[in-house]
Structure 1
Amino acid sequence: MIHHRIAPTASYADLSRRNFLVNSAVAGSGLVLSLMLPFGQGKAVGAEDFTPNAFIRIGADGEIVLTMPYVEMGQGTYTSIPTLIAEELEVELKQIRLEHAPPNEKLYANPLLGVQATGNSNAIRGAWRPLREAGATARIMLIAAAAKRWGVDVASCRAEDGRVIHTASGRQLRYGELAAGAAQMPVPNDVVLKRPEEFKLIGTPAKRLDAAGKVNGSAVYGIDARPPGVKIATLAQSPVFGGRLKSVDDAAARAVKGVRQIVRLDDAVAIVADHMGAAKKGLEALKIEWDEGPHAGLSTQDIAHELEQATLKAGTVAQNNGDADKAMANAETKVEANYQLPFLAHATMEPMNCTAHFRGGECEIWVGTQAIARVQAMVAKAAGLPVEKVIIHNHLIGGGFGRRLEADGAVRAVEIAKQVDGPVKVVWTREEDIQHDMYRPYWVDRIAAGLDKDGKPVAWSNRFAGSSVIARWLPPAFKDGLDPDTTEGAIDLVYALPNFHVEYVRVEPPGIPTAFWRSVGPSHNVFVTESFIDELAAAARQDAVAYRRALLDHNLRAKAVLDLAAEKADWGAPLPKGRGRGIALQYAFGSYLAQVAEVEVARDGSVRVHRVVCAMDCGTVVNPDTVQAQIQSGVMFGVTAALYGEITLKKGRIEQANFDTYQMLRINEAPAIDVHVVRSTEPPGGMGEAGTSGIVPAIANAVFAATGKRLRKMPIDAETLKA
């Protein structure tokens, strides 16, 4: 998703106590703390038009409610974020109830991103200080209220387990009993947060708060929304991006039992029915003729060729240290390579869906989205309504991976709902989902390095071409031909490279939309840089781990994870014929990660990943279970991409349609994954995407170790390895 350096409106240094906790007042009979991040001016709690950025509400019954500006899509956010509050507030995690934050870009934006979005492995990074400070401030005010009621010194009281206790007398009051009084206490200018050695919850395993609902079926995802009277719709969109609907014969579709309506749009047809079965049968019965438009002849080869040609021309300089050209000219050895990475689909298990009810002057939406304010704004535009007339209910997400940072599914639902009387749930079939996704960009890199007589790199030059998702998604963050997502993992490498030059050439492919995909820029750049570092080690006839280690004397955190991964993976130990180990090292999303993949290449060229060992330094760990789960999830996502992931075009159409042609990793193919976390007191880094970007080069390097064949294009081609 979006890198943490994107146009932040303010830094943590700008978050004064007085600005952060704007005010407190009685709200009913409870204490409400308004969390005021630096993206708008708040008003006193209790004022009729007050909307908090994020807030803790403690009622007279003791219930603690956290309004969440982040969304849960399987990554554990709804457990880790409340942990920050619970730690400083001195309550159990299970005492906190969550509510979705409404769309409000000014009040609910991630302080490190500047937008209201969940992605870039940034929820914990963005919440780490603000939500802990909110909890600590609430605790201080509750203690002050108890001390005032008892007529004792504040210092003689402490908070524990949702109560304030007077140490000397043993008197105690629960938070609910103190809420109204605490609301009258002055907001402290400064709060002292716990030291790491004082943590009770942070750093310890915690059961997921959302697990029970997902197991017993009570959890509500976007696809579960069922407002009264809802009809179900599914659709067929132009098979070529940019095409238009030419004609449709719907006589057979109207005869299908349960079909209620056929909705025609400029580039799509939707069947509205009583249930999904009828909608699908109706869709299959349609006879549609398309005007395929200007991209009807487009192929993947056309796009790849355009990108290859673009790398022959100068691009925008992303980073330049020293004089790479001069050092290259004087190098003992020169190593050159070209790399390519394909388009990739998201293929989330919950297909794209949105329920919409257009009522003329108002539109109501039920959806699972990573960017609720963005959806509200784009729906309002599509509906021709003021933003405040679009009501959005956000839900759990059954797989995001960046796909649900986009609003196209909600906009499409509103276009259909405008022609339907009553609410309509639009569900995309798997074929529509894959063939009308917004894809991870196609990339081409032209990279070279110069080595001295000892094989050490003295020059590094990389020019790569591809799409900039941020240029479309967040234009202000695309400056002077660059954006931080596109370049992350290609610049500011962990290695000491004295003469270093990287250029980026922006090329937007025709006829296929691009978007954020789990680990985005690093999913491309880490593959290239870590594969090429491996090539340099091979050219220098040196061990891949030792070669990297010699370039890390200035970066002890990177060296530590490299050494730990190598040790735990038994690096250097003999393997059976046909097997190999490969390593990759990265700093991305604020975390250091080393991964070792152990693979087997069969006689027919097929590749099996048997084992993956990961060593991670992600700073302070909030929930160790989440770290392990996120690494495992990211590895599976990346292994799938390495072995099978590829979206191709032929005559303007996406050739893949379902899981038979866009294959997922099967359960019997899943590798054993060992995760080892380095203890650290540094601020937290990101976790959700790091595992995906590192595993693909580790697999490619392992294939080289097993076969001597260097893979510079993904996914792995069994025929090439067989040859």
Structure 2
Amino acid sequence: MEKIQTSRRDFLKASGITTFGLALGISGFTRDASLKKITPAVLRLEINPFIIIDTNGNITLVNPRPDMGQGSTQAVPSLLAEELEVNLEKVLIIQSDGMGKYGSQTSGGSSSVRELWFPIRKAGAAAREMLTATAAKRWNVPVSECHAEDAKIMHKASGKSLTYGELADDASKLEIPKDPKLKEAKDFKIIGKYNKRLDVPERVNGRAVYGIDVDVPGMVYASILHSPMIHGKVASIDDTEAKKIQGVLQVIKTERTMPHRTSEAVAVVATNYWAALKGKKALVVKWDNGDLEKTLSTASYYAATYDAAQKEGINAEEKGDFAVKYAAAKDKIESNYETPFLAHAPIEPENAVAHVKDDGTVEIWAPVQGPDWALRDVCGYMKVKPEQVKINVTLLGGAFGRKAYHDFVLEACHISKVVKKPVKVIWTREDDISQGPYRPGMLSHMQGFVDDGKITGFHHHAIGESIAGQVFKQLKDTEADPWLSGELATENNKYRFEGASKVSWTNVKTDIPVVWWRSVYASNFGWGQECFVDELAHLAKKDPLKARMEILTDDRFKKVLQTLAEKANWEEKLPEGSGKGLAVFSSFNSISACCITVSKKDQGVKIDKVVSVIDCGHYVNPDNVKAQTEGNIVMGLTAAIKDGITFTNGVSDQSNFHQYNIMRLNETPAMEIHIIDSGAAPGGVGEPGLPPIAPALGNAVFAATGKRLRKLPFDIANLG
């Protein structure tokens, strides 16, 4: 399997498309000699999001989901190869470019396999049926006597065979089946099986092309000085020293356009990146920061959330009259659980190449999570039509939600328009961490009660900045954030509280830019929900596992917890100073549970082991499920015990990895991942394993030490 990057311009040569063949869902192609002369860029625009089989037998898939490390370049072609009865090595991949005919093209919300499970498989199955029908007609035999195998159609009785390439041209004349017969799960040869990641070698040996690797003829480089207070305006620029640096071409005032507001910045443009960066450091810029010292403050933000916790929120869901039942309850508790702002900190910082041309067209090369969203944002910003914009998506060196926020792409567009050349913008690590956007810090105000040793009342008041409100401007002051229903609703968590239950919301706004972060709100609110369920279990004098099993109404959830209890040996008696904690959470149509074992070490505890169980329904490759879950464990632990993002006097207190720590390899605990083969519809994999991690750790700390932690992050080595 080959991932064809935009820098590999000779697509026709690489894929061997020299005659037409079979193209499913393709519009705009004509079967004539001119096809041979179509350039790679034009050809790319004309391919629909399914497949092409040419007369040489080459199979090409347009991948509508960029690969940011989650493995879409393996998972998506696996769906096709399964139904088409070919090996993965036979599938060539090109990336979609954002045009509407490709449908949804954003990697996010753990949606790639979930949303492409049927469309890509149906494309493969349709092609298989068309090729089979063509072969049967040539041999004058019933279709039922023919079958597909290893890119050929076989006639078992006679031993005859024809390759897909030999059949493709005639097959392309048939009507595409609207409802092709898909393979049953029991017949899968690729889906659900371990298959070696064919895209890994080039990522290890350096051949893979990421955004930061793109080189365009005539390109110049830009390094941007942003205001330390993010939204500051430029008062004055002294570029005297910057212009003395060899290679520096221009110093210009530019802008950073975010969904909720636009900020000013200064760009140094040079013949090479190091000159641009050195020039940036030599700039002397005075900023007009207005009242940002007050509005960019995490202390004042959290003060507002705790104030909101004392008031009624907007009702998102309620079953029974919670306030009345809570007031009358004998055994009840109330707690606040806090989570911090977090940076995404992908290994590859934000970067983009933009070329705004004299004819009004725009071409982008960038590691974006969604070319469709990037196209929309570039068109809106540049005031051009979609047909005037070409988006070239590269591999992404991590993203976690950050690279679906296109401020860095629009910066490159603005600078290119000014300097009239293709411009490569590269953010520094300091830009990435100190400028945001961030996962919003949140507060969970929890109330609950028990009756006769059972949890019967539960209220989760979610408080904080709304991504839907700030980024999408889709939240009215009188309504609850609609995203809560996908994570905190009883329909999602499957807890049934016989007394009463409630989910409410208060929007505390901030000028600190926010956006989704791996698992979105689930990483915030899973902490409050699952730690508080533990608190209620102890109030009821119940084992935390048994307490959950009593209020769960869904057999899949119960199976996940039962499996976790077995694999983590939940019932074992631990030595003094050790403890186990568990948590379960559903997100992105998957269910994940975690058990963490800790033991006392000096003034704190150490993490001995993490056991994670996931039911994601049908999956493509178990190795990828495990890899993603391991990544979720590391990221979840990092979010629990490493640095958050704080703002003091309008400026981020964190600027690089010396202040914004991430978990290192030597700190990573032993991990076990177990997958439940439920056979359910495909769920997400890239994010669902994260939400249970922090609460499982918090519950384990309580079990080992008796200390109930309610604020993240905490110092695991010194619990006070």
Structure 1 CA distance, aligned partners of 2:173 and 2:585?
50
Contact 2:344/2:402 (8 A) holds in 1: yes
SS of alignment partner, residue 418 of structure 1: helix
Which of the residues 95, 100, 107 maps onto 1:118? 107
Aligned pair 1:375/2:374, yes or no? yes
Which residue is equivalent to 2:202?
A: 213
Which residue is equivalent to 2:394?
A: 395
Which residue is equivalent to 1:653?
A: 651
Which residue is equivalent to 1:59?
A: 54
Contact 2:580/2:595 (8 A) holds in 1: yes
Which of the residues 159, 177, 180 maps onto 1:170? 159
Distance 1:685 1:479, change over 3 A: farther
Q: Deviations over 1:372-409 (max 9, x none)?
A: 12222222333343332222111100001000111111
Structure 1 CA distance, aligned partners of 2:31 and 2:160?
31
Aligned pair 1:192/2:181, yes or no? yes
Distance 1:277 1:146, change over 3 A: same
The amino acid of 2:176's aligned partner reads V
Name which of structure 1's ranges 336-345 and 188-197 shifts more when overlaid on structure 2.
188-197
Which residue is equivalent to 2:293?
A: 296
Structure 2 CA distance, aligned partners of 1:280 and 1:441?
30
Name which of structure 1's ranges 385-394 and 611-620 shifts more when overlaid on structure 2.
385-394
Distance 1:314 1:52, change over 3 A: farther
Q: Deviations over 1:260-313 (max 9, x none)?
A: 221222521112223222222211111121111221234211001112222333
List aligned pairs for 1:418-433, cutoff 5 A: 418-433=417-432
Which of the residues 12, 27, 31 maps onto 2:22? 31
Name which of structure 1's ranges 379-388 and 471-480 shifts more when overlaid on structure 2.
471-480
Which residue is equivalent to 2:494?
A: 494
Structure 1 CA distance, aligned partners of 2:230 and 2:20?
56
Residue 27 of structure 1: how far off its partner (Å): 10
Structure 1 CA distance, aligned partners of 2:103 and 2:694?
32
Residue 123 of structure 1: how far off its partner (Å): 0.6
Residue 28 of structure 1: how far off its partner (Å): 4.2
Which residue is equivalent to 2:271?
A: 274
SS of alignment partner, residue 89 of structure 2: helix
Residue 53 of structure 1: how far off its partner (Å): 4.5
Structure 1 CA distance, aligned partners of 2:48 and 2:470?
26
Structure 2 CA distance, aligned partners of 1:58 and 1:476?
43
The amino acid of 1:316's aligned partner reads I
SS of alignment partner, residue 721 of structure 1: coil
The amino acid of 1:534's aligned partner reads D
Which of the residues 127, 138, 155 maps onto 2:144? 155
The amino acid of 1:550's aligned partner reads E
Name which of structure 1's ranges 133-142 and 373-382 shifts more when overlaid on structure 2.
373-382
Contact 2:455/2:547 (8 A) holds in 1: no
Distance 1:343 1:399, change over 3 A: same
Name which of structure 1's ranges 60-69 and 571-580 shifts more when overlaid on structure 2.
571-580
Contact 1:327/1:458 (8 A) holds in 2: no
Structure 1 CA distance, aligned partners of 2:341 and 2:348?
21
Structure 1 CA distance, aligned partners of 2:70 and 2:668?
19
Unmatched segments (≥5 aa) in structure 1? 1-25, 36-41, 111-115
Aligned pair 1:538/2:526, yes or no? no
List aligned pairs for 1:203-602, cutoff 5 A: 203-265=192-254, 267-297=264-294, 298-360=296-358, 361-454=360-453, 456-474=454-472, 481-492=479-490, 493-498=493-498, 499-509=500-510, 511-552=511-552, 554-602=553-601
Structure 2 CA distance, aligned partners of 1:287 and 1:302?
30
Residue 171 of structure 1: how far off its partner (Å): 0.4
Structure 2 CA distance, aligned partners of 1:381 and 1:400?
23
SS of alignment partner, residue 509 of structure 2: coil
Structure 1 CA distance, aligned partners of 2:372 and 2:20?
31
Structure 1 CA distance, aligned partners of 2:455 and 2:326?
10
The amino acid of 2:107's aligned partner reads T
Contact 1:118/1:370 (8 A) holds in 2: yes
Residue 477 of structure 1: how far off its partner (Å): 8.7
Which of the residues 694, 697, 700 maps onto 1:696? 694
Distance 1:482 1:415, change over 3 A: same
Q: Deviations over 1:317-370 (max 9, x none)?
A: 221112223332332301110111111100000001111122232222110111
Structure 2 CA distance, aligned partners of 1:407 and 1:480?
29
Q: Deviations over 1:125-166 (max 9, x none)?
A: 001111111111100000011111111111111111100011
Structure 2 CA distance, aligned partners of 1:173 and 1:408?
51
Q: Deviations over 1:108-131 (max 9, x none)?
A: 333xxxxx3111011100011111
Contact 2:47/2:62 (8 A) holds in 1: no
Distance 1:708 1:488, change over 3 A: farther
Q: Deviations over 1:42-99 (max 9, x none)?
A: 7787799995641200011111101011010111111111111111111111111111
Contact 1:142/1:179 (8 A) holds in 2: yes
Contact 1:257/1:278 (8 A) holds in 2: yes
Distance 1:182 1:311, change over 3 A: same
The amino acid of 1:268's aligned partner reads A
Structure 2 CA distance, aligned partners of 1:85 and 1:445?
43
The amino acid of 2:523's aligned partner reads S
The amino acid of 2:533's aligned partner reads I
Structure 1 CA distance, aligned partners of 2:31 and 2:528?
54
Q: Deviations over 1:523-551 (max 9, x none)?
A: 11211110100111121222211211222
Structure 2 CA distance, aligned partners of 1:612 and 1:65?
41
SS of alignment partner, residue 500 of structure 1: strand
SS of alignment partner, residue 346 of structure 1: coil
Which residue is equivalent to 1:14?
A: none
Structure 1 CA distance, aligned partners of 2:330 and 2:718?
31
Residue 483 of structure 1: how far off its partner (Å): 4.3
Distance 1:201 1:45, change over 3 A: farther
CA RMSD of aligned residues (A): 2.2
Name which of structure 1's ranges 589-598 and 498-507 shifts more when overlaid on structure 2.
498-507
The amino acid of 2:102's aligned partner reads Y
The amino acid of 1:708's aligned partner reads G
Contact 1:328/1:458 (8 A) holds in 2: no
Name which of structure 1's ranges 570-579 and 76-85 shifts more when overlaid on structure 2.
570-579
Name which of structure 1's ranges 209-218 and 167-176 shifts more when overlaid on structure 2.
209-218
Task: Using the aligned pairs only, state the percent identity.
Answer: 40
